[in-house]
Amino acid sequence: MQSNMMNFPLLPRHLLGHAAKLYGTVEIVSRLPDKSLHRETYRDLEARNRALAKALISAGLRPGDRVATLMWNHYAHLEAYFGIPASGGILHTLNLRLHPDDIAYISNHAEDRFLIVDDTLLDLYAAIRPHTHFERVFVVSLAGHPLPPGCESYEALLAEGAGKFTYPDLAETTAAAMCYTSGTTGRPKGVLYSHRSIVLHSLVSALPNALNLGQRDVLVPVVPMFHAISWGLPYTATLAGCKQVMPGPHLDPESLLDLYQQERVSVSAGVPTIWLGILERLEREPERWQLKPGMRMVVGGSAAPEGMIRGFDKFGLEVLHAWGMTETSPLGTVSQLKSYLSNLPADEAYALRAKQGLPVPLFEARAMGDSGEAPQDGKTLGELEVRGPWVAASYYRGERPESWSEDGWFRTGDVVTIDPEGYVKITDRTKDLIKSGGEWISSVDLENALMSHPAVAEAAVIALPDPKWQERPAAVVVLKRNHSASEDELREYLRPKFAKWWLPDVIYFATEIPRTSTGKFLKSRLRKIYAEQEKSRLNCPGTTP
Ligand code: AMP
């Protein structure tokens, strides 16, 4: 029998409508390139959102068309987060840290029609422009740079959207936003979030057992808005109606700490590299900043080191360790102590908080070993598989269908244990990728490039632990007989093909690379050998490996 509940669609624009109606004067604060603060309210945001949606439709945007953004975290990006989906279009956030060739590839693959770019990134736009096909490009003036030829003003676009407007009816299952994620092999793949998945993800993210976000909070999302829809935080914060403070391009520890103090920030979110920098700054000048007591820091993207959790506790600041993926919207697990575990001895409690944590409601996790589901004993390893209403069921063009199990769970590529209390702990990853400061580096792409050098017979690229970036790439190279090449020469060879931060920090020369029985590079062994070598190299500066 059918229920008699209303069929009310779950749309992010309803979250904004609610915030504008009930918390209309609550501010969205954005730090501009000159460090001045731009302020608008939820009421302003709603009005500009309406104007943007209307103007995009007048500009010829059809339902399902992609509008790309190339922007830092600020008010205009937030407007795009709501206005593009509300118009029936799909927000496609481009990762400005990628090599221009990759950005262009991704934009073409997504068939983006329009672009909204902020004027601090016009040089990057100039680099991708010859290889992309945007019909119209709208520039947000933050730094006051002149409009490049062929571009239009974002404010002029909004002005075209003035006047009455009724939002188009949308089905909640249609796509609202899109992000690309790096592939182990091959090109990045697109993930399409629906209006419904965004709303459900926001509802659960805000729960006390998850990120615990309420109207009284003041949130700074440091995590870029071009990463996994900024962990859904702009939507979750709008659902809560809390003040949002956007850091713009200023992500150094001192700028962030000034902002936290000035705006009385209660919660912020970012990758460990950001937090390690902030902790180091606080330890150096413990009296300089007066942060809000009990401020929460959501740490994800890479593992939060236990020492960092302890370090922040000394300042009365709480680390909330979370795990997620682009494919999972991203929130999957959060490490919070259960009520009856809160009296654990300190060492055990910290060890638990350093785990990736408990799956949030509606999100299911299992560890799959070679012979089925691994027991939840905190010891047996398995690949983490997940499912839930905000987990992708396929990639944009159906790439890599093997990423889903036969019974429809998503294979994360993370190797985990799950303990009897349900806490997930990541121990390794099967993906051949390196995560440096929260950004992926493809070892396979670097290997292929190295192996195209005339002197290189074989090359394996591995992740080595790094105190600042969590991981950095190192290459192990076997040269062809009677050929020679120096480390510098190989790095110069890679330079034009990759973003600077992709280049291996160190290149080791070896006579052979250990392989598995199936002929693949045995990277676990390489990681072990070279992590040791790296340790001794760093301890004895001046020696060459
Ligand atoms: P992305 O799709 O770029 O968000 O990357 C998702 C991947 O980042 C996961 O599959 C993990 O490998 C890694 N990751 C995310 N959060 C954590 C965490 N808290 N601890 C360890 N690894 C993480």
CATH number at residue 533: 3.30.300.30
Which atom of ligand 1 is nearest the CA belonging to 426?
A: 21
- Alpha-carbon distances, residue 151 vs 61, 122, 160 (angstroms): 17, 10, 16
Task: Report the distance separating Cα 246 and Cα 224, nearest Å.
Answer: 10
Structure tokens at 110: 């997504």
Q: Which residues contact 47 (CB under 8 A, 6 or more apart)?
A: none
200, containing H or E segment: helix 195-205
Q: How many CA atoms does the CB half-sphere of 295 hold within 13 Å?
A: 25
Which atom of ligand 1 is nearest the CA belonging to 326?
A: 2
Domain end, chosen from 203, 221, 242, is at 203
Distance 300 CA to ligand 1 centre (A): 7
Domain end, chosen from 185, 203, 221, is at 203
pLDDT at 185: 60
**Probe residue for ligand 1, chosen from 193, 229, 414, 429 as the CB with the greatest number of ligand atoms within 8 Å:** 414
Q: Is residue 355 part of a domain?
A: no
What residues are in contact with ligand 1 under a 6 Å CB criterion?
A: 181, 228, 300-303, 321, 323-326, 330, 356, 412-414, 426, 429, 435, 440
Distance 264 CA to ligand 1 centre (A): 29
pLDDT at 545: 34
Nearest CA to ligand 1 atom 5: 325
Cα–chain center distance at 262: 26
In terms of DSSP H, where are the helices of 36-153? 42-58, 75-86, 100-110, 122-128
With beta carbons less than 8 A apart as the criterion, state whether 446 and 472 touch.
Answer: no
In terms of Cβ atoms closer than 10 Å to its own Cβ (0-12, 13-18, 19+), residue 519 is: exposed
Average pLDDT of the chain, as a whole number: 95
Q: Is residue 363 part of a domain?
A: no
Peptide bond into 330 cis (omega under 30): yes
Domain end, chosen from 203, 232, 259, is at 203
Total number of domains constituting the chain: 2
Question: What CATH number is given to the structural domain containing 48?
Answer: 3.40.50.12780
pLDDT at 543: 39
Query: Any idea which residue has 């690949």 for tokens?
Result: 383
Distance 332 CA to ligand 1 centre (A): 10
Distance 326 CA to ligand 1 centre (A): 9
pLDDT at 341: 96
- How many other C-beta atoms are found inside a 10 Å radius of the C-beta of residue 415? 18
Q: Is residue 176 part of a domain?
A: yes
Distance 49 CA to ligand 1 centre (A): 31
Q: Is residue 505 part of a domain?
A: yes
What positions carry a catalytic annotation?
181, 327, 435, 440
Nearest CA to ligand 1 atom 12: 414
Q: Is residue 350 part of a domain?
A: no
Which atom of ligand 1 is nearest the CA belonging to 384?
A: 10
Strands 27-31 and 37-41: antiparallel
Q: Is residue 140 part of a domain?
A: yes
> What is the edge-to-edge ordering of all strands in the sheet holding 456-466?
456-466, 470-479, 506-509
Q: Identify the three-state secondary structure at position 530.
A: helix
Nearest CA to ligand 1 atom 7: 325
**Probe residue for ligand 1, chosen from 230, 323, 400 as the CB with the greatest number of ligand atoms within 8 Å:** 323
Nearest CA to ligand 1 atom 4: 325
Q: Is residue 154 part of a domain?
A: yes
Residue among 102, 16, 133, 177 at smallest CA distance from 498? 102
Distance 325 CA to ligand 1 centre (A): 6
Nearest CA to ligand 1 atom 23: 302
Positions of the chain with pLDDT lower than 50, given as ranges: 542-545
pLDDT at 245: 98
Q: Provide the domain limits for residue 102.
A: 9-24+41-203
Please give the backbone phi and psi of residue 437, each rounded to the nearest 5 degrees, phi first.
60, 30
Q: Is residue 193 part of a domain?
A: yes
pLDDT at 423: 98
Residue among 201, 207, 223, 217 at smallest CA distance from 296? 217
Q: Which residues contact 409 (CB under 8 A, 6 or more apart)?
A: 366, 385, 386, 387
Nearest CA to ligand 1 atom 20: 303
